[in-house]
Amino acid sequence: MQARTRVKICGLTRLEDIHAAVQAGADAVGLVLYAKSARAVSLQQARLLRAAVPAFVNAVTLFVNAPEHEVQEAIDQLRPELLQFHGDESPQYCESFNHRYMRAFRVGAPGLDTPEGLLQACRRYQSASAWLFDSYSEGYGGSGRRLDPSLLRLVQEAGDSRPMVLSGGLLPDTVAAAIMATRPYAVDVSSGVEAAPGDKCPQKIRQFLAAVRGL
């Protein structure tokens, strides 16, 4: 029997959106600790949001090339289940925190625009707990752009057992087909369930989860 596809809702900035994501059945919620993002939250805001995440729902804290002390402070104060590195962080940097982390790859970026390049990149991060494959954008993420799933095939065929998270431009109307095409461990969405950057739409969240759960 095919295991159910897990769902991460990313870029939450309001308590009401944490509640909406949890009530809709999200498996994980992402907090963006990257100041240049329209969805960025301060450490103080993140503490309030994190406190509203119940047991059995993972809190994921997301960084882009952050100074190491900022990552360590977030680990100490937020106790996230998972770190997400979404910039150009090296394997050594990601491993230096001795904390579970997901390595995000922006598919289509230089060096990540061929299946071989992606596979080679994955192999550099031996201690990653999961991969997140996102589309490529100048702003690092949250672009609403879709990626070419065919580029992931070689990574999947290489037999790497680590969970693969599909991300990038997913919508309530498109997520089911994306899952059928790539059979990911989980899907991740931000702009596709928003009314405006950082302001999630509870109805779109429910529609997104329903589309995933209906498979």
Ligand X SMILES: O=C(O)c1ccccc1NCC(=O)[C@H](O)[C@H](O)COP(=O)(O)O
Q: Which residues form the interface with ligand X (CB under 6 A)? A: 10-11, 30, 32, 34, 37-39, 62, 64, 86, 134, 139-144, 167-170, 188-192
CA distances from 173 to 29, 113, 147, 195, 208 (A): 21, 26, 16, 16, 8
Q: How far is the CB of 67 from ligand X (least distance, A)?
A: 16
Rounded (5°) CA angle 27-169-14 = 50
Between 32 and 122, whose beta carbon lies closer to ligand X? 32
CA distance 186 to 157: 17
Nearer to ligand X, 21 or 32 (CB): 32
For ligand X, give the closer residue by CB, 130 or 189.
189
Residue identified by tokens 């104060």 is 77
Residue 127: both structure tokens together: 């201690």
Q: How far is the CB of 201 from ligand X (least distance, A)?
A: 13
Q: What is the helix (H) or strand (E) element at residue 32, kind and residue range?
A: strand 28-32
Q: 155 or 193, CB closer to ligand X? A: 193
Smallest separation (angstroms) from ligand X to the CB of 85? 10
Kindly name the residue from 27, 94, 122, 134 that is annotated as catalytic.
Answer: 134
In sequence order, the 6+-apart residues with CB closer than 8 A to the CB of 20 are 200, 202, 205, 206
Task: Based on the residue annotation, tell me whether 94 is a catalytic residue of this protein.
Answer: no
Distance CA 160, CA 29 (A): 25
As measured in angstroms, the least distance from the Cβ of 69 to ligand X is 20
Catalytic residue, chosen from 10, 17, 27, 94, is 10
188 in catalytic set: no
Q: Which residues are catalytic?
A: 10, 134
